[in-house]
Amino acid sequence: MPVSHSPARKWQGRSDPEDGPDAKRMHHLVSETGRRALLGFACEAGVIRNKGRTGASQGPTALRNALANLAAPARAEPFADLGDVVVRGDDLEEGQATLGGRVTHALATYERLVVIGGGHETAFGDYQGLASFYPEAKIGIINLDAHFDLRLVGENGASSGTPFAQIRELSPDTFDYLCLGIAEEANTQALFQRAEEWGVGTVSDHALIASPQAGDQAIEGIVSRSDLIYLTIDIDLLPAYQAPGVSAPAARGVPLATVEHIVTKILSMCEAHDCKIPLADIVELSPPNDRDGLTSSTAALFTRRLLCS
């Protein structure tokens, strides 16, 4: 089968029983119950079509392995692992549709779903699932990314570079998209012009390097006018020294501390405005191109935060 579902494997990791009941790590929190859940998207097709470095299909496994031994935060609650949607070969469209169905189904049970793996083509499947479950909601999209990913679908079909153009095509009148970390040299002028025509909010990597708070006003704006936020984090936003294992490493990138500030700001603003984040994803992790598991470990920090905040 070109697209299938792989059940979750048993998590393993370090245990320190001599330190008592509070010596928990993330692998101890995995349960069939809980208010939050993890779902993998093991897909290579979107990155291949976008002419990027391959390896994204291995992202979910590598990220789980990096997450397992991280210390659990205080008062952390259990979370469920829903396994992986696995796309073999080039059947991207069926993979995205299957992912969307899984997302819709999961949102009926869990207050927040975190999807891991795949290239940024993951976003189109995720958004379809979210919009299907919340058809009347005003959904704001916040993308932490060096790239707009607003390319139009060409003769080779959709790719990891087209998801937000595809999302806009679903409902142009309600499309509300903020992209934080845009690198000028990583996006053609055609993409900048399209972003302007479509009213995309933009904060550059230079602005965020100069001030971690450069995106705060834009974040508050989109949160205040939305019922829900779909948060998507492309790991290639970070500098290559922090995230070498991605499809397109960043020569400059936005520092990790700034990205952590942005995530904190989004979470706090959503709480202040009673705006939910039912869906988040972390994409473009490419373990074969990683060094010492550094990129997987970095992605695990964001996953832990989104599962436990």
Each residue's pLDDT tens digit, 222-240: 999 999 999 999 999 999 9
Cα 302 from Cα 282, distance rounded (Å): 8
Q: Are strands 177-182 and 276-283 parallel, antiparallel or unpaired?
A: unpaired
List all residues 6 or more positions away from 207 whose beta carbon is below 8 Å from its beta carbon: 214, 215
- For the chain, what is the mean pLDDT? 96
Predicted confidence band of residue 45 (pLDDT cuts 50, 70, 90): very high
Across the chain, how many H-helices and E-strands are there?
A: 10, 9
Q: Are strands 79-87 and 112-116 parallel, antiparallel or unpaired?
A: unpaired
pLDDT reported for residue 118: 86
Predicted confidence band of residue 204 (pLDDT cuts 50, 70, 90): very high
Residue 178 · residue 140 · CB < 8 Å = yes
Inform me whether the pLDDT recorded for 133 exceeds 90.
yes
Cα 150 from Cα 148, distance rounded (Å): 5
φ and ψ of 3, to 5 deg: -130, 130
CB atoms within 10 A of CB 309: 15
Indicate the pTM of the whole model: 0.97
Q: Which domains are present in the chain?
A: 3-308 (3.40.800.10)
Cα 98 from Cα 114, distance rounded (Å): 16
Residue range 168-183: mean pLDDT, rounded: 97
pLDDT reported for residue 155: 86
Residue range 128-155: mean pLDDT, rounded: 97
